[in-house]
Amino acid sequence: MKVRAVVVFLGRVQGVNFRAYCAEKAESLGLDGYVENRWDGSVEAVFEGDRSMIETCIEWNKTSQPYARVESVEVSWSDPKGEFRGFRVRR
Residue 85 annotated among the catalytic residues of the structure: no
What phi and psi values does residue 5 have, to the nearest 5 degrees?
-130, 130
Residue 37 annotated among the catalytic residues of the structure: yes
Q: What percent of the chain has pLDDT over 90?
A: 98
Cα within 13 Å of Cα(44), Cβ side: 8
Q: So what's the pLDDT on residue 11?
A: 98
How far, in Å, CA of 65 to CA of 80, rounded?
A: 26
Instruction: List pLDDT tens digits, range 23-53.
Output: 999 999 999 999 999 999 999 999 999 999 9
Catalytic residue among 12, 37, 51, 88: 37
Catalytic residue among 4, 12, 17, 19: 19
Q: What is the pTM of this model?
A: 0.96
Delineate the domains of the chain, giving CATH numbers in brackets.
2-79 (3.30.70.100)
pLDDT band at 1 (very low <50, low <70, confident <90, very high): confident
